[in-house]
Amino acid sequence: MQLIIRSKTTEAEDIVSLELAAPDGSALPAFTAGAHIDLSLGKGLVRSYSLVNDPAERHRYVVAVNRDPASRGGSRHVHEALRAGQALEVSAPRNHFPLVEDAPHVVLIAGGIGITPLLCMIRRLNALGRAWTLHYSARTRAKAAYLGVLRELAEPCGRLDFHVVDECGGRLPDLAALVGASPAGAHLYCCGPVPMLHAFEEAASLRPPGTVHVEYFSAQQDAALAGGFEVVLARSGRSLRIQPGASILDALLADGLDVGHACKEGVCGACQTRVLEGTPDHRDSYLSPREKSAGDAIMLCCSGCTSEKLVLDL
């Protein structure tokens, strides 16, 4: 979709939001809490951003973008080049971090920009009249986006526990204690930096399956780039040798195939492809452990293959 940037707003230090709408104001595809959209940010860069506005809204999408100091272009482009009034190519929303709407308790844990999908969940929980607790930590108070909004949203049925790392002598939130204090049967959601998510997953490893939910914004593992195997495209019968240093996605794109992709680091889900034969070497943060062990899907941008041949449904 080509959408128009209706406004660009500073939400905190190094965080800006973009409000996007159809040029003619028509309704946009619906989304559910926890969903993200992909923005095309020039020079072939596509980056995913979680929707922060109320899922009941159909007239706009709102995303908030943190400036990554090591950016190769995506967040830097949003901060430096994009202006209100410009057009932007945007994907339809996708959701790999859905909210379980009938959970008896909901505990949300956000670190920094990881607040974005959780803010959307909070709006939905308020609309449903369901109780929630948010543990929100930021490096500094100036970097905490949406604090005022969250305080207002907490009034009807929420509880906000805000932790500022540099005001606590650099102490990070105690995730084991937060998880341990969560009511039995609660669904737990966490989004933030990779080390925080790892600590959360470890702390929550004994909670009932299906009640622990995480969203990674960036890769956890290096891509499998050893190459040395053959990829067969079942629909066309074509076959390619994957060379060392290249991902399967790189090889397919170099061969002229138009394969959907966005993050290129195994987090957004855009390049998921069905495996018909062969053993994937999974390196993504997108498929669940169960999906990985089933072996019938692969993320082409970062995963490799431990068998001689991989047959794909392409």
Nearer to ligand FES by C-beta: 74 or 266? 266
Secondary structure (DSSP) of 39-99? EE-STT-EEEEEB-S-TT--S-EEEEEE--TT-SSHHHHHHHT--TT-EEEBPPPB-SS--
Burial 166-186 (b: 16+ CB within 10 A, else e): eeeeeeebebeebbeebeeeb
According to CB under 6 A, which residues from 2 to 31 bind ligand FES?
none
Q: Is 266 in the site for ligand FES (CB under 6 A)?
A: yes
Output the smallest distance, CB 266 to ligand FES, in A: 5
CA atoms 146, 5, 2, 27: torsion sign: positive
By the rule CB under 6 A, 286 interacts with ligand FES: yes
Asked if 72 touches ligand FAD (CB under 6 A), the answer is: yes
Q: Which stretch binds ligand FAD (CB under 6 A): 2-10, 23-31, 46-54, 246-254?
A: 46-54
Distance CA 271, CA 262 (A): 8
190: number of Cβ within 10 Å: 27
Number of residues in contact with ligand FAD under rule CB under 6 A: 25
In angstroms, what is the minimal distance from the CB of 109 to ligand FAD? 16
Residues within window 207-246 making contact with ligand FAD, judged by CB under 6 A = 215, 217-218
Q: Does 269 bind ligand FES (CB under 6 A)?
A: yes
Residues with Cβ within 8 Å of 294's Cβ and at least 6 positions away in sequence, in order, are none
Under the criterion CB under 6 A, does residue 271 sit at the interface with ligand FES? yes
d(CA 145, CA 137): 11
> How far apart are CB 274 and ligand FES at their closest, in Å?
14
Distance CA(257)–CA(59), nearest Å, equals 35
Q: Does 299 bind ligand FES (CB under 6 A)?
A: yes
231 vs 297, beta carbon nearer ligand FAD: 297
What are the tokens at 107?
Answer: 């505990």
Closer residue to ligand FES, CB minimum distance, 77 or 187: 77
Find which of ligand FAD, ligand FES, none residue 106 binds, CB within 5 to 8 Å per kind: none
Q: How far apart are CA 177 and CA 200, in angstroms?
A: 10
Contact residues for ligand FAD, defined by CB under 6 A: 36, 47-50, 63-66, 68, 70-76, 113, 116, 215, 217-218, 263, 267-268
